[in-house]
Structure 1
Amino acid sequence: MRCCVPFAVLASLLVSGCVFSDNPPALRSLDSFKGGAACYDRETEPYTAVVDTHLHYRPFDGRAIPFNEVNDYLSQTSVRFANVYGIGQMLPANSRCSNYLKCPGTPVAPTVRNDFVNAANMLEYKPDDLHLTLSMTFTDLSDPEPTVELMKLYEKEYPGLFHWMGEVNLVKQAQFNNRHKAASPKDITKWAGFMAELKARNYPITIHSDLGNDQSPTLYLPLMEQALALYPDNKIVWAHMGLSYEQKSLPAAEHIAILSRLLDQYPNLLIDISWRILEDAYFSQWGNRPLYVDFMNHYAERILPGSDFVAFRGNNFNVYQQELDVTSRILKYLDDNAFRHIALGENYFKLLNLDYQAPMVCEAS
């Protein structure tokens, strides 16, 4: 472990980096990632990621934390780069429900509403000290035919503003009681139009696709395999390593074997390690952490970090700080190469061809 205080102390504090009795080093600025910055000292600087590739600025019911306030949250932590996700599947505008899990039968349907609010906020409140990448989250993967025309609408209304697609749902079991249905194999063949458009624009797409559940661990794996086989030239990011609350008991070795096989087979596939379910149910379980650390060290250039924080008005900075800390906890165990590529953002910069670079990690003293 490469941290400056004992783990027992860290576990008792909700902080985004190492704790000091005197003055901690200043958090790095956005400009410091332009190149030529001092090496990153893992013994004194935070282990939390500098990029949050999976951050929902908008919630399911539209009652969001103000855009500027979410940006303030990032500025108070190590994060300097973030994907601005909406949530493409929203509750009805006239619904009193705020948590779809507590409202079975209430539809959670794809819509452009959140994306357009995010775009308007970006134009009005674009921060100087953060680099934000706006993402299209409206796509219904089980009804993909309108997607290309809607992408054209986005480009007409907000030219040059969107550079990502997702998080979009291939299969999300948590929403089955809210009229969501998994995309079928036939549906996936109909993605060709918008996947070609994404490829032409060089936009990544983040796909939520549950691997399976505790009763049938790989039930939905064939859907993701088909998407990868049909669109191998697209930059596809598999959200949450394919895991979910419906699947908490998949043996780590089996999970890693599936991911390794697909990463080896499809060079444009990446995975994100967002959502605290990974730390709570997998990484922190007895004997699992070394397996996942070895996996991430091996595939250091294929992994993206993220909090999966949802800016619902009932949340606050302390919630964001905790989610960032929990989802970054695995990072402090990585070797220096993996830490630089994942935590310090090198994978993200290369994926989007950004004019930024991760600092080198200081040699251990």
Structure 2
Amino acid sequence: MTIFHRLALLLVTTSFMSVSSVYAEKYKYNDAHLHYVNFSQQSQGIEPLIEAMDSASIEHSVISGLPVIKKWADDQPGKPDTAFSDDANVYWYSLTDEIIARAVLSLPESQQRRLHPFICGFNPTDKNAAEHVARMLEWYPGFWQGIGEVITRHDDLTALTYGETARANHPALMRVYKLAAKHDLPVLLHSNITSMSADDPVYLSELEDALKQNPNTRFIWAHAGTSKTINLRNKPEFLAKELERLLSAYANLWIDLSWTVMDDHIQPRGKVSPRWLSLIENHADRFMLGSDVTGSFKRVNEKMQDFIPLLEQLQPEDARRVAKENFLTILPKTNSAKVHHK
């Protein structure tokens, strides 16, 4: 490599680092999708979470558990690292909500204000689910600020889960949605738009039933209905068109831009899709960002930085809404600013 090429490379590298630093200083975030625990219900801890938020310029964050735990089966050689480490099942785990409550309440009041706990430890196919939510609200009055992530259609995870298949319009969840509306709680819902092999949105009607029958419940659709094993690459315009229709039809729907929807749809290969940019601009008050980390917070900063190409192409006021404001506006009006300390 010649001296000229080395100087050019140094200039490009220095410029990139400078631009990245400017971006990091420019954007402040609120994280609308974060799991304090992994699928073994373990966590790095609450203090590392706060440190990660500070490092990533995150002012406020959802904090939720995970509604299932991975079974450590006798026929497996070691404890599984993830839900998909082996073919042992996962099962519904209510203690996850207590883990969240104890972690948040261990913090000083100034840090508690930054975290917004969501209830998720219930079986969405059990009509007793609403009773669990009601019990959590009674035990921790003024503490909980949402419900979710409620996991329904979730490809491989659905296949691993004991019992009946969960769906967005299950009668058990309809009771939860009504309770959510009564207490002004948003619902973060994972409901795949389709199956792993289908070309049509075979599960979309389940979400629409929930939206139609619960107009007073605010829904955040996790990952815009996408997931790892859903292949919509042969229909690049399909998802954006469906979202345009849904957002126009249902005033109670918001979209969580996290995980697969970013890499597979909004900015594949790092380039922002014009169709998606137009969609987000048209509904700039209905989208929010999430890291979707599970138990480990080492990659929170990286996850939030991944949104920069999109934010840079939005108008400044729209970028601010998507990165920060929309998340706060969906929280309960009466307790979003409360301190949880007792």
Q: TM-score range by the shorter chain?
A: 0.7 to 0.9
Q: 1:109 aligns with which of 82, 91, 107?
A: 91
**Using the alignment, how far apart are the partners of 1:202 and 1:249 within structure 2?**
34
Distance in 2 between residues matched to 1:202 and 1:169, nearest whole Å: 20
Q: Is the 8 A contact 1:74 1:80 kept in 2?
A: yes
SS in 2 for 1:117: helix
Alpha carbons of 1:12 and 1:174: their partners in 2 closer, same or farther (altered >3 Å)? farther
2:8 is aligned to: none
- Of 157, 173, 187, which residue of structure 1 is paired with 2:155? 173
> Contact 2:125–2:172 (CA<8 Å) still a contact in 1?
no
Say if 1:247 and 1:75 are closer, same or farther in 2 by CA, change over 3 A.
same
Label 1:226 to 1:11 Cα distance change in 2 as closer, same or farther (>3 A): farther
| Kept in 2: contact 1:207–1:236 (CA 8 A) | yes
CA distance in 2, matches of 1:232, 1:10: 51
In the TM superposition, what is the alpha-carbon distance from 1:56 to its structure 2 partner?
Answer: 0.7
Structure 2 spans left out of the alignment, 5+ residues: 1-11
Instruction: Provide the aligned C-alpha RMSD in A.
Output: 2.7
Match of 1:52 among 31, 43, 67: 31
Structure 1 unaligned regions, length at least 5? 1-7, 25-42, 357-365
What's the secondary structure of 2:261's corresponding residue? helix
2:263 matches 1:280: yes
Change (3 A) 1:341 1:9: farther
Change (3 A) 1:264 1:132: same
The structure 2 residue matched to 1:254, chosen from 226, 235, 238, is: 238
- Tell me what 1:240 maps to: 223
Look up the match of 2:312. Answer: 332
> Which residue number in structure 1 is paired with residue 176 of structure 2?
194
Q: Which residue of 2 aligns with 1:28?
A: none
1:60 alignment partner, SS class: coil
Q: Which runs of structure 2 are paired with 1:175-324 in the superposition (5 Å)?
A: 175-179=157-161, 182-183=165-166, 188-213=170-195, 215-217=197-199, 218-250=201-233, 251-275=235-259, 277-285=260-268, 289-312=273-296, 316-317=297-298, 319-324=299-304
Equivalences, count: 315
Matched, 1:67 2:46: yes
The one-letter code sitting in structure 1 at the alignment partner of 2:185 is Y
Shift of 1:272: 0.5
Q: Deviations over 1:208-237 (max 9, x none)?
A: 011114531412112112211221221011
CA contact (8 A) 1:52 1:79 kept: yes
Residue 184 (structure 1) shift: 5.0
Aligned-partner residue type, residue 221 of structure 1: L
- 2: CA distance, partners of 1:170 / 1:321: 28
Deviation at 1:206, TM superposition (A): 0.6
Say whether residues 1:85 and 2:68 are aligned partners. Answer: no
Which one-letter code corresponds to 2:189 in the other structure? I
Counterpart of 1:206, as a letter, is L
Name the TM-score, length of structure 1 as normaliser.
0.78
Q: Secondary structure at the match of 1:56?
A: coil
* Equivalent in the alignment of 1:142: 125
Over 3 Å counting, the alpha-carbon distance change for 1:328 and 1:202 in structure 2 is: farther
Contact 1:209 1:238 in 2 (8 A): yes
Percent identity, aligned pairs only, is 20
Deviation at 1:94, TM superposition (A): 7.3
Q: CA deviation at 1:240?
A: 0.2
